Structure 1
Amino acid sequence: MTGSLPAGVERQQFDGDERLATRGQSVYGEPTDGEWRAWDIRRSKLGAMLDRRMETGLTGGETVLYLGAAAGTTVSHVADFAGPTYAVEFAARPVRDLLTVADSRPNLFVLLKDARKPETYAHVVEPVDVIVQDVATRGQARVANTNRRFLKPNGRLLTVVKARSEDVTADPTDVFETFRSQLEGYEILDTERLDPLHDDHLAVVARPTR
């Protein structure tokens, strides 16, 4: 499958290299050129998915639920091209940085919550077009399953399965197969390993079936 970039994401030249970029305030020391900021795909699994032209279904302007936002490296780029973006992060320290990122992005809403407990933020999050899941925890399929409630019927789940977070001793291929078997209420549309940019990571695009 060959996907196009969403509106608001373009390939721009930075120091002679063509890189993905969005318009917005710099967050993590990335190169900038005028209003454009480079998207470091070595630090962003979603960036790597877009760079490899996976069919993410992103077109720009979507409402997004981002699970595992950390300090905002990737979700800042998402908020640059998306509509309302709910950023869920469990750890208090990165949330402080994330709040700074949100200062210049009025569409970015920071939630100090646990992605494994969506009932704690269900009263805040509206139905979304896209769930981006980037969590380093056991039970990554369970996180996707329990957050499906927020996804519109024609929405997309964009997740990256981190094999070492599930089981550091298991063969990553086995971990990925287990994830596929445990994903409930979704149809998987596309998968791709992100090596060597992100070792032992599998990118998955899925849509809800109910």
Structure 2
Amino acid sequence: MSLPEGVQRREFDGEEVLATRGEPVYGEPVVEGWRRWDASRSKLGATFAHGLDTGLSGGDGVLYLGAANGTTVSHVADFAGPTYAVEFAPRPVRDLLGVAEDRGNLFPLLKDARKPETYAHVVESRLDAIVQDVATRGQADVALANRQFLADDGRFVGAIKARSEDVTREPEAVFEDVLERLREGYEVLSTDRLEPHHDDHLAVVATPK
């Protein structure tokens, strides 16, 4: 598996795990400037840990949808270029602003990822990547609505949360429905379940059609 430049496997307490270089954010261990990237707290971290080829590269321009309080997007900003972090809830955005103080390339946006027209004037077009981690029904719709920001050869890297779509159905059935909808605007390159790090989640790597 090829990791982006700026993401390495480093040893922490005798265990080799993912790490990025940057200021600590959530109490993670730091060794020689490298922050441990806890895959159990990060769907993207788990995606890397599971060996998926995301196509992400160091210096990429990234739109991160569902940034929450900045746990994962802080790692993304450590290796990426301009990183636009969209989060709907005001409380996490306050934390996100604190994370951005140490990262000049991280731009928090208090916006709804389902309404990209509200931040289209801020976010660059033809970005290298969209990373999506939203807990809402209609996750494929969010990905399709934000496809406009991706370069033709860009990558979508997302985590589908089955329970956010429908708690009454089996996750596999939910995943199939979401992927079918996603294929209306993307070519799905690879998928993988994220257990044991995250139950009922499916990692997806895709490129725009």
Same structural fold, with TM-score higher than 0.5 when normalized by the shorter chain: yes
Structure 1 spans left out of the alignment, 5+ residues: none
- Once superposed, what is the RMSD of the aligned Cα atoms? 0.6
> In the alignment, what sits opposite 1:206?
206
Distance (whole Å) between structure 1 residues aligned to residue 148 and residue 56 of structure 2: 19
Correspondences of 1:86-101 after superposition (within 5 Å) = 86-101=84-99
> In the alignment, what sits opposite 1:193?
193
> In the alignment, what sits opposite 1:108?
106
> In the alignment, what sits opposite 2:22?
24
Q: Deviations over 1:45-98 (max 9, x none)?
A: 100111122010012110000000000000000000000000000000000000
Distance (whole Å) between structure 2 residues aligned to residue 194 and residue 9 of structure 1: 19
TM-score by length of 2: 0.98
Query: Tell me, what secondary structure is at the counterpart of 2:41?
Result: coil
Distance (whole Å) between structure 1 residues aligned to residue 185 and residue 140 of structure 2: 11
> In the alignment, what sits opposite 2:154?
155
Q: Is 1:61 the equivalent of 2:59? A: yes
Range that drifts further, 64-73 or 43-52 = 43-52
> In the alignment, what sits opposite 1:14?
12
Distance (whole Å) between structure 2 residues aligned to residue 27 and residue 19 of structure 1: 17
Q: Deviations over 1:153-204 (max 9, x none)?
A: 0000001000000001110000000001111210000000001110000000
* Percent identity between the two aligned chains: 69
4+ long deviations beyond 3 Å: none
Query: Tell me, what secondary structure is at the counterpart of 2:68?
Result: coil
Distance (whole Å) between structure 2 residues aligned to residue 100 and residue 131 of structure 1: 22
Letter in 2 for 1:47: G
Distance (whole Å) between structure 1 residues aligned to residue 197 and residue 48 of structure 2: 13
Distance (whole Å) between structure 2 residues aligned to residue 51 and residue 5 of structure 1: 10
Deviation at 1:34, TM superposition (A): 2.2
Q: Is 1:139 the equivalent of 2:138? A: yes
Letter in 2 for 1:203: A
Number of matched pairs: 207
Deviation at 1:16, TM superposition (A): 1.2
Q: Deviations over 1:25-52 (max 9, x none)?
A: 0000001112110000000010011112
> In the alignment, what sits opposite 1:181?
180
Letter in 2 for 1:187: E
Letter in 2 for 1:144: A
Distance (whole Å) between structure 1 residues aligned to residue 93 and residue 120 of structure 2: 19
